[in-house]
Amino acid sequence: MNRREIGMIPAAWILCAWAAGAAPEPAPGQALALKVDRVLTGTGEDLSGGWVVVRDGRIESLDAKTAPGDALVLEFPGATMCPGFIDPVTSLGANGDLEEPARAFTPDAQAADAFHPFHEAYEKAARGGLTTVGLSPGSRNLVGGTMAVVHTFGDADRAVLGGAGPLRLCMTSAAQLDDREPTSRMGAMYHMRQFVEAGVPGQGALLVDVQSTDEVRLTLDLLKAVGRPLVFLRPADAMECVDLLQGSHATVVLGPFTTSSSRRALRTAAHLESRGIPVAFTGQGSAVQLRLTAALAVREGMTPAGALMAITAAPADILGLHGQTGRVAAGQRADLLVVSGDPLDLSAKVEAVLVGGVLVDLEDD
Protein backbone atom coordinates (compact mmCIF):
# COMPACT_ATOMS: atom_id res chain seq x y z
CA MET A 1 0.00 0.00 0.00
CA ASN A 2 1.19 3.48 -0.62
CA ARG A 3 1.82 5.93 2.16
CA ARG A 4 -1.49 7.62 1.71
CA GLU A 5 -3.39 4.40 2.10
CA ILE A 6 -1.45 3.56 5.19
CA GLY A 7 -2.42 6.97 6.56
CA MET A 8 -6.06 6.40 5.68
CA ILE A 9 -6.50 3.09 7.42
CA PRO A 10 -5.67 4.29 10.91
CA ALA A 11 -7.85 7.32 10.24
CA ALA A 12 -10.82 5.15 9.35
CA TRP A 13 -10.20 3.07 12.43
CA ILE A 14 -9.94 6.18 14.59
CA LEU A 15 -13.21 7.57 13.28
CA CYS A 16 -14.99 4.32 14.00
CA ALA A 17 -13.58 4.20 17.49
CA TRP A 18 -14.58 7.83 17.91
CA ALA A 19 -18.13 7.02 16.91
CA ALA A 20 -18.16 4.27 19.51
CA GLY A 21 -17.37 6.92 22.16
CA ALA A 22 -13.79 6.12 23.07
CA ALA A 23 -11.30 8.99 23.08
CA PRO A 24 -8.27 8.04 21.07
CA GLU A 25 -4.87 8.75 22.50
CA PRO A 26 -1.67 9.30 20.57
CA ALA A 27 1.36 7.38 21.67
CA PRO A 28 4.12 9.40 23.41
CA GLY A 29 5.85 11.49 20.76
CA GLN A 30 3.18 10.75 18.21
CA ALA A 31 1.46 13.71 16.63
CA LEU A 32 -2.24 14.29 16.62
CA ALA A 33 -3.42 15.97 13.43
CA LEU A 34 -6.78 17.69 13.37
CA LYS A 35 -8.48 18.93 10.25
CA VAL A 36 -11.05 21.66 10.58
CA ASP A 37 -12.62 24.18 8.23
CA ARG A 38 -11.77 27.27 10.25
CA VAL A 39 -9.41 28.23 13.04
CA LEU A 40 -10.16 31.17 15.33
CA THR A 41 -6.91 31.93 17.06
CA GLY A 42 -8.45 33.85 19.96
CA THR A 43 -6.71 37.09 19.09
CA GLY A 44 -8.92 38.02 16.18
CA GLU A 45 -7.49 35.98 13.38
CA ASP A 46 -9.80 33.77 11.42
CA LEU A 47 -7.73 31.25 9.47
CA SER A 48 -9.29 29.00 6.97
CA GLY A 49 -8.69 25.50 8.02
CA GLY A 50 -5.90 23.19 7.32
CA TRP A 51 -4.14 20.76 9.53
CA VAL A 52 -3.46 21.61 13.14
CA VAL A 53 -0.70 19.38 14.45
CA VAL A 54 -0.40 18.68 18.15
CA ARG A 55 2.54 16.84 19.68
CA ASP A 56 3.51 16.19 23.29
CA GLY A 57 0.83 18.45 24.62
CA ARG A 58 1.75 21.47 22.49
CA ILE A 59 0.57 22.95 19.21
CA GLU A 60 3.29 22.15 16.76
CA SER A 61 1.95 23.88 13.66
CA LEU A 62 -1.12 25.48 12.17
CA ASP A 63 -0.25 25.59 8.55
CA ALA A 64 0.64 22.02 7.62
CA LYS A 65 -0.63 21.13 4.17
CA THR A 66 -0.94 17.48 5.04
CA ALA A 67 -0.92 15.50 8.21
CA PRO A 68 2.46 14.11 9.27
CA GLY A 69 2.82 10.50 8.23
CA ASP A 70 2.79 9.01 11.69
CA ALA A 71 0.05 11.20 13.05
CA LEU A 72 -3.18 10.12 14.57
CA VAL A 73 -5.67 11.83 12.30
CA LEU A 74 -9.01 13.34 13.21
CA GLU A 75 -11.15 15.11 10.64
CA PHE A 76 -14.01 17.44 11.47
CA PRO A 77 -15.59 18.59 8.23
CA GLY A 78 -17.29 21.97 8.53
CA ALA A 79 -16.06 22.51 12.07
CA THR A 80 -14.34 25.46 13.71
CA MET A 81 -11.42 25.28 16.11
CA CYS A 82 -10.79 27.86 18.79
CA PRO A 83 -8.75 28.00 22.00
CA GLY A 84 -10.23 26.15 24.93
CA PHE A 85 -12.28 28.49 27.06
CA ILE A 86 -10.80 29.99 30.20
CA ASP A 87 -12.80 31.25 33.17
CA PRO A 88 -10.65 33.54 35.30
CA VAL A 89 -12.64 33.49 38.55
CA THR A 90 -14.45 30.42 39.79
CA SER A 91 -14.97 28.32 42.86
CA LEU A 92 -15.27 25.19 40.78
CA GLY A 93 -15.65 22.01 42.75
CA ALA A 94 -14.54 23.69 45.97
CA ASN A 95 -17.49 22.62 48.16
CA GLY A 96 -17.36 25.86 50.16
CA ASP A 97 -13.69 25.46 51.02
CA LEU A 98 -12.79 28.80 49.47
CA GLU A 99 -14.63 31.01 51.96
CA GLU A 100 -12.61 31.62 55.12
CA PRO A 101 -13.97 34.85 56.65
CA ALA A 102 -12.70 34.34 60.22
CA ARG A 103 -10.10 37.05 59.60
CA ALA A 104 -10.30 39.90 57.16
CA PHE A 105 -6.77 39.44 55.83
CA THR A 106 -5.61 36.04 54.72
CA PRO A 107 -3.10 36.85 51.95
CA ASP A 108 -1.20 33.62 52.53
CA ALA A 109 -4.23 31.40 52.12
CA GLN A 110 -4.01 29.44 48.92
CA ALA A 111 -6.95 28.43 46.79
CA ALA A 112 -4.85 25.50 45.62
CA ASP A 113 -5.49 23.93 49.02
CA ALA A 114 -9.19 23.85 48.14
CA PHE A 115 -8.65 22.19 44.78
CA HIS A 116 -10.58 18.91 44.50
CA PRO A 117 -9.17 17.49 41.28
CA PHE A 118 -11.61 14.59 41.00
CA HIS A 119 -14.73 16.65 41.50
CA GLU A 120 -17.26 15.95 38.77
CA ALA A 121 -17.59 19.67 38.11
CA TYR A 122 -14.24 19.58 36.36
CA GLU A 123 -15.26 16.79 34.01
CA LYS A 124 -18.40 18.64 33.13
CA ALA A 125 -16.49 21.84 32.51
CA ALA A 126 -13.97 20.07 30.31
CA ARG A 127 -16.68 18.42 28.23
CA GLY A 128 -18.14 21.83 27.54
CA GLY A 129 -14.86 23.21 26.29
CA LEU A 130 -13.72 25.00 29.44
CA THR A 131 -10.10 23.94 29.67
CA THR A 132 -8.55 26.21 32.31
CA VAL A 133 -10.01 28.01 35.32
CA GLY A 134 -8.86 30.37 38.01
CA LEU A 135 -9.84 29.06 41.41
CA SER A 136 -10.35 32.00 43.73
CA PRO A 137 -10.89 32.63 47.43
CA GLY A 138 -14.22 34.27 48.08
CA SER A 139 -15.15 37.88 48.53
CA ARG A 140 -15.83 37.94 52.25
CA ASN A 141 -12.25 38.85 53.05
CA LEU A 142 -10.46 42.08 52.26
CA VAL A 143 -7.56 39.99 50.96
CA GLY A 144 -8.76 36.44 50.46
CA GLY A 145 -5.55 34.81 49.35
CA THR A 146 -3.73 33.56 46.33
CA MET A 147 -5.68 32.12 43.44
CA ALA A 148 -4.91 28.77 41.87
CA VAL A 149 -4.80 28.23 38.13
CA VAL A 150 -5.91 24.74 37.16
CA HIS A 151 -6.68 22.86 34.02
CA THR A 152 -9.99 21.08 34.07
CA PHE A 153 -8.59 17.79 32.86
CA GLY A 154 -5.47 15.84 33.57
CA ASP A 155 -3.63 14.47 36.57
CA ALA A 156 -4.28 15.37 40.17
CA ASP A 157 -1.29 17.69 40.24
CA ARG A 158 -2.48 19.78 37.33
CA ALA A 159 -2.45 23.09 39.16
CA VAL A 160 -0.35 25.46 37.11
CA LEU A 161 2.30 27.88 38.31
CA GLY A 162 2.94 25.83 41.44
CA GLY A 163 -0.39 26.92 42.81
CA ALA A 164 0.55 30.61 43.01
CA GLY A 165 -1.79 32.67 40.90
CA PRO A 166 -3.04 36.21 41.23
CA LEU A 167 -4.03 37.75 44.57
CA ARG A 168 -7.72 38.19 45.30
CA LEU A 169 -8.94 41.34 47.03
CA CYS A 170 -12.38 42.72 47.75
CA MET A 171 -13.34 46.37 48.08
CA THR A 172 -17.09 45.92 48.18
CA SER A 173 -19.35 45.72 51.20
CA ALA A 174 -19.24 41.93 50.90
CA ALA A 175 -15.97 42.03 52.83
CA GLN A 176 -17.39 44.30 55.52
CA LEU A 177 -19.17 42.03 57.93
CA ASP A 178 -21.35 42.93 60.89
CA ASP A 179 -19.49 40.87 63.42
CA ARG A 180 -15.89 41.06 62.32
CA GLU A 181 -13.59 44.00 61.85
CA PRO A 182 -13.90 45.93 59.56
CA THR A 183 -17.61 46.60 59.52
CA SER A 184 -17.38 49.61 57.23
CA ARG A 185 -15.63 50.94 54.16
CA MET A 186 -13.64 53.45 56.20
CA GLY A 187 -12.34 50.63 58.36
CA ALA A 188 -11.62 48.54 55.26
CA MET A 189 -9.67 51.35 53.61
CA TYR A 190 -7.63 51.95 56.72
CA HIS A 191 -6.60 48.32 56.94
CA MET A 192 -6.00 48.03 53.21
CA ARG A 193 -3.62 50.95 53.35
CA GLN A 194 -1.67 49.27 56.13
CA PHE A 195 -1.56 46.11 54.04
CA VAL A 196 -0.28 47.89 50.94
CA GLU A 197 2.29 49.83 52.93
CA ALA A 198 3.69 46.61 54.34
CA GLY A 199 4.26 45.36 50.80
CA VAL A 200 1.85 43.29 48.72
CA PRO A 201 3.12 39.70 48.54
CA GLY A 202 3.49 37.70 45.33
CA GLN A 203 3.99 38.75 41.75
CA GLY A 204 0.78 38.03 39.92
CA ALA A 205 -2.08 40.27 39.04
CA LEU A 206 -4.35 41.83 41.66
CA LEU A 207 -7.97 40.82 41.18
CA VAL A 208 -10.26 43.22 42.99
CA ASP A 209 -14.00 42.95 43.54
CA VAL A 210 -15.53 46.37 43.02
CA GLN A 211 -19.04 47.57 42.54
CA SER A 212 -19.52 51.34 42.50
CA THR A 213 -17.53 54.12 40.92
CA ASP A 214 -16.09 55.26 44.24
CA GLU A 215 -14.88 51.75 44.90
CA VAL A 216 -13.06 51.84 41.58
CA ARG A 217 -11.58 55.20 42.47
CA LEU A 218 -10.50 54.07 45.94
CA THR A 219 -8.94 50.92 44.49
CA LEU A 220 -6.93 52.93 42.01
CA ASP A 221 -5.76 55.34 44.72
CA LEU A 222 -4.69 52.38 46.78
CA LEU A 223 -3.15 49.99 44.27
CA LYS A 224 -2.00 51.90 41.23
CA ALA A 225 1.41 52.57 42.73
CA VAL A 226 1.98 48.90 43.53
CA GLY A 227 2.73 48.38 39.85
CA ARG A 228 1.08 45.01 39.42
CA PRO A 229 -1.50 44.28 36.71
CA LEU A 230 -4.91 45.23 38.00
CA VAL A 231 -8.16 43.40 37.26
CA PHE A 232 -11.56 44.73 38.26
CA LEU A 233 -14.15 42.07 38.99
CA ARG A 234 -17.66 42.83 37.85
CA PRO A 235 -17.89 46.61 38.39
CA ALA A 236 -21.60 47.25 38.25
CA ASP A 237 -21.05 50.93 37.45
CA ALA A 238 -18.51 50.33 34.69
CA MET A 239 -20.45 52.49 32.24
CA GLU A 240 -20.25 55.45 34.64
CA CYS A 241 -16.53 55.29 35.23
CA VAL A 242 -15.17 54.39 31.80
CA ASP A 243 -12.67 57.24 31.91
CA LEU A 244 -11.24 56.01 35.19
CA LEU A 245 -11.04 52.46 33.85
CA GLN A 246 -9.39 53.56 30.66
CA GLY A 247 -6.72 55.52 32.47
CA SER A 248 -6.00 52.63 34.78
CA HIS A 249 -4.90 50.13 32.10
CA ALA A 250 -6.79 47.51 34.07
CA THR A 251 -8.70 44.57 32.67
CA VAL A 252 -12.37 44.35 33.51
CA VAL A 253 -14.12 41.04 34.17
CA LEU A 254 -17.83 41.01 33.39
CA GLY A 255 -20.59 38.44 33.52
CA PRO A 256 -22.00 35.98 33.62
CA PHE A 257 -24.72 37.39 31.42
CA THR A 258 -28.03 35.62 31.21
CA THR A 259 -31.26 36.19 29.42
CA SER A 260 -32.39 38.19 32.48
CA SER A 261 -29.48 40.61 32.29
CA SER A 262 -30.45 44.15 31.45
CA ARG A 263 -29.54 45.50 28.04
CA ARG A 264 -27.49 48.17 29.72
CA ALA A 265 -25.43 45.53 31.49
CA LEU A 266 -24.98 43.63 28.24
CA ARG A 267 -23.89 46.74 26.38
CA THR A 268 -21.17 47.41 28.89
CA ALA A 269 -18.91 44.87 27.18
CA ALA A 270 -19.25 46.56 23.80
CA HIS A 271 -18.75 49.98 25.33
CA LEU A 272 -15.57 49.01 27.15
CA GLU A 273 -14.28 47.30 24.01
CA SER A 274 -14.88 50.43 21.97
CA ARG A 275 -12.78 52.40 24.48
CA GLY A 276 -9.91 49.93 24.26
CA ILE A 277 -10.40 48.54 27.76
CA PRO A 278 -9.52 44.82 27.90
CA VAL A 279 -12.54 42.71 28.80
CA ALA A 280 -12.75 39.15 30.07
CA PHE A 281 -15.87 37.18 30.91
CA THR A 282 -16.58 34.82 33.74
CA GLY A 283 -19.19 32.09 33.61
CA GLN A 284 -18.82 30.98 37.21
CA GLY A 285 -17.17 27.78 36.04
CA SER A 286 -19.72 26.82 33.40
CA ALA A 287 -18.72 26.50 29.77
CA VAL A 288 -22.27 27.11 28.56
CA GLN A 289 -22.52 30.23 30.72
CA LEU A 290 -19.34 31.53 29.14
CA ARG A 291 -20.61 30.93 25.64
CA LEU A 292 -23.95 32.51 26.46
CA THR A 293 -22.25 35.52 28.05
CA ALA A 294 -20.11 36.02 24.97
CA ALA A 295 -23.07 35.55 22.64
CA LEU A 296 -25.22 38.07 24.52
CA ALA A 297 -22.38 40.58 24.51
CA VAL A 298 -22.12 40.22 20.74
CA ARG A 299 -25.86 40.66 20.42
CA GLU A 300 -25.55 44.02 22.16
CA GLY A 301 -22.64 45.29 20.13
CA MET A 302 -19.38 43.61 21.06
CA THR A 303 -17.33 42.31 18.13
CA PRO A 304 -17.36 38.51 17.80
CA ALA A 305 -13.57 38.45 17.82
CA GLY A 306 -13.54 40.53 20.99
CA ALA A 307 -16.09 38.30 22.67
CA LEU A 308 -14.09 35.18 21.82
CA MET A 309 -10.93 36.86 23.13
CA ALA A 310 -12.81 37.62 26.34
CA ILE A 311 -13.23 33.92 27.01
CA THR A 312 -9.81 32.79 25.80
CA ALA A 313 -6.80 35.08 25.46
CA ALA A 314 -7.90 37.80 27.90
CA PRO A 315 -8.52 35.50 30.87
CA ALA A 316 -5.27 33.68 30.04
CA ASP A 317 -3.46 36.98 30.46
CA ILE A 318 -5.20 37.69 33.75
CA LEU A 319 -4.09 34.32 35.10
CA GLY A 320 -0.50 34.87 34.04
CA LEU A 321 -0.70 32.36 31.23
CA HIS A 322 0.25 34.67 28.38
CA GLY A 323 2.33 32.66 25.95
CA GLN A 324 1.30 29.35 27.44
CA THR A 325 -2.34 28.97 26.56
CA GLY A 326 -5.43 30.89 25.53
CA ARG A 327 -4.49 31.20 21.89
CA VAL A 328 -4.25 28.82 18.96
CA ALA A 329 -0.61 29.46 18.13
CA ALA A 330 2.42 27.31 17.50
CA GLY A 331 4.28 26.57 20.71
CA GLN A 332 1.34 27.06 23.04
CA ARG A 333 -0.34 24.33 25.03
CA ALA A 334 -2.83 22.30 23.06
CA ASP A 335 -5.91 23.46 24.95
CA LEU A 336 -8.30 23.40 22.04
CA LEU A 337 -11.95 23.20 21.25
CA VAL A 338 -13.60 21.99 18.06
CA VAL A 339 -17.19 23.08 17.53
CA SER A 340 -19.51 22.10 14.68
CA GLY A 341 -20.21 25.78 13.97
CA ASP A 342 -19.36 29.17 15.46
CA PRO A 343 -18.25 28.74 19.09
CA LEU A 344 -20.57 31.54 20.18
CA ASP A 345 -23.54 29.80 18.59
CA LEU A 346 -25.18 27.72 21.29
CA SER A 347 -26.79 25.48 18.70
CA ALA A 348 -23.33 24.36 17.60
CA LYS A 349 -22.09 21.14 19.10
CA VAL A 350 -18.81 20.51 20.83
CA GLU A 351 -17.03 17.93 18.66
CA ALA A 352 -13.71 17.67 20.46
CA VAL A 353 -11.90 19.11 23.45
CA LEU A 354 -8.18 18.84 24.06
CA VAL A 355 -6.58 19.76 27.36
CA GLY A 356 -2.81 19.69 27.20
CA GLY A 357 -3.05 17.72 23.95
CA VAL A 358 -5.20 14.99 25.49
CA LEU A 359 -8.67 14.41 24.09
CA VAL A 360 -11.48 14.62 26.61
CA ASP A 361 -14.08 11.88 26.62
CA LEU A 362 -17.23 13.73 25.67
CA GLU A 363 -19.71 11.11 26.77
CA ASP A 364 -21.41 11.84 30.06
CA ASP A 365 -22.73 8.73 31.71
Chain contacts with another protein (rule: CB under 8 A): 178-190, 212-214, 217-218, 237, 240
Contact 243, 99 (CB under 8 A): no
Residue 297 — φ and ψ, nearest 5°?
Answer: -65, -40
What single-letter DSSP state applies at residue 22? P
Closer CB to another protein, 5 or 179, in the complex: 179
Closer CB to another protein, 188 or 298, in the complex: 188
Q: Which of 282, 247, 354, 363 is nearest to 33 (CA)?
A: 354
Buried b (16+ CB within 10 A) or exposed e, 184-213: ebeebbebbeebeeeebeeebbbbbbbbbb
Q: Which of 175, 229, 186, 222 is nearest to 206 (CA)?
A: 229
Q: Which helix (H) or strand (E) holds 296?
A: helix 287-299
Q: Which of 110, 84, 321 is nearest to 205 (CA)?
A: 321
Q: Which residues contact residue 19 at a Cβ distance below 8 angstroms, ignoring those fewer than 6 apart?
A: none
Least CB distance to another protein at residue 171 (A)? 10
Least CB distance to another protein at residue 137 (A)? 22
Closer CB to another protein, 245 or 298, in the complex: 245
State the Cα–Cα distance between residues 337 and 318, nearest whole angstrom.
20
Least CB distance to another protein at residue 238 (A)? 13
Strand order in the sheet with 336-339: 46-48, 38-40, 80-83, 336-339, 350-355, 358-359
Amino acid at 185: R
Closer CB to another protein, 95 or 184, in the complex: 184
Least CB distance to another protein at residue 232 (A)? 16
- The number of helix segments (H) and strand segments (E) in the chain equals 9, 20
Least CB distance to another protein at residue 271 (A)? 17
Closer CB to another protein, 157 or 243, in the complex: 243
Closer CB to another protein, 181 or 345, in the complex: 181
Residue 42 Cα distances to 23, 120, 221, 327, angstroms: 25, 27, 33, 5
Closer CB to another protein, 189 or 348, in the complex: 189
Residue 110 Cα distances to 86, 167, 198, 316, 320, angstroms: 20, 9, 20, 19, 16
Least CB distance to another protein at residue 106 (A)? 17
Closer CB to another protein, 203 or 246, in the complex: 246
